[in-house]
Amino acid sequence: MTGEIKDKREDEPKNPCKLCGYQNESLMHILNGCQSRKHKYTERHNLIEGILVEEIRKAQQQNKPIIFRNSTIRVNGEKLDGEESRLKPDIWYIKDNKLFIIEITIPYGQYTEDNQNTLEIRTEEKKAKYNNLVIRCQEKWAIETHLITIVASSLGVLTKESIQNVHLLTGYKWRRLNSLINRISMNAIRGSYLVYTNLEMNQPVERYGNINHRGEEHDHQRFNGEQHASNDEYNINER
């Protein structure tokens, strides 16, 4: 149970975050906002990053590209000058003379007071941050450059754009794409479960419960009744 829920049941707020002491221990705080859990957020992020790298490699039949993680962009040993040269995208690689720059983010999904989806806000922030990098790469190396954003909420919902981007990166269709999307979703939930419980990320799935490969049947009680959106929200068969 989160401190926030305990506080609602009791008269005075007195259930701060057990790790950092922040006064409102909401689910959002635990899953996305806690300073003391930052390393766990990075591990969750890296779970998703690892899956994408693996699948991008698997998807290329020939001329498998060299995939770089968390490093500055260099083409033919040359790097950019200026501010953008310091940016380290999560993933980048060159394939068929196109440069792909991939940024992954796992925010808390909800609507703001003015009815904006936080997943979309975070997508736009990423695009704004990397926009100049894309332009500079195109200018310097005359290479077609694509910024690909993958945004999955910490409770496992991917934006439609992210699903399209997974398709673009892998070329997977239908069942295979759906299964990869489910795997990404399940691992976002899995990462969040490990954030929530403060368990190590390398625990085998069987040890900590009822998460299956479709990501549908995890125990909602563990998230204090907060539910991740149903699979239908990103089921490609609906689109």
- Token pair for residue 170? 């892998």
Residue from 5, 6, 13, 20 binding Zn ion (CB under 5 A): 20
Using the rule CB under 5 A, is 133 a contact of Zn ion?
A: no
**Smallest distance from the beta carbon of 31 to Zn ion, in angstroms?**
11
Nearer to Zn ion, 3 or 215 (CB): 3
Q: Which residues contact 221 (CB under 8 A, 6 or more apart)?
A: none
Q: Which of residues 75-114 bind Zn ion (CB under 5 A)?
A: none
Per DSSP, the three-state class of 142 is coil
Per CB under 5 A, which region of 18-26, 179-187, 206-214, 223-231 contacts Zn ion? Answer: 18-26
Per CB under 5 A, which region of 17-25, 61-69, 94-102, 201-209 contacts Zn ion? Answer: 17-25
User: Of 169, 179, 154, 183, whose CA–CA distance to 236 is shortest?
Assistant: 179
- Token pair for residue 70? 């968390």
Q: What is the Cα–Cα distance from 85 to 92, expressed in whole angstroms?
A: 14
Binding string, residues 22-61; x marks residues near Zn ion by CB under 5 A? x-----------x---------------------------
Per CB under 5 A, which region of 13-21, 137-145, 153-161, 204-212 contacts Zn ion? Answer: 13-21
The site that binds Zn ion (CB under 5 A) totals a number of residues, namely: 5
- Token pair for residue 136? 């500079």
Q: What is the Cα–Cα distance from 75 to 53, expressed in whole angstroms?
A: 19
- Token pair for residue 27? 């689910």
Question: What is the contact surface with Zn ion in residues (CB under 5 A)?
Answer: 17, 19-20, 22, 34
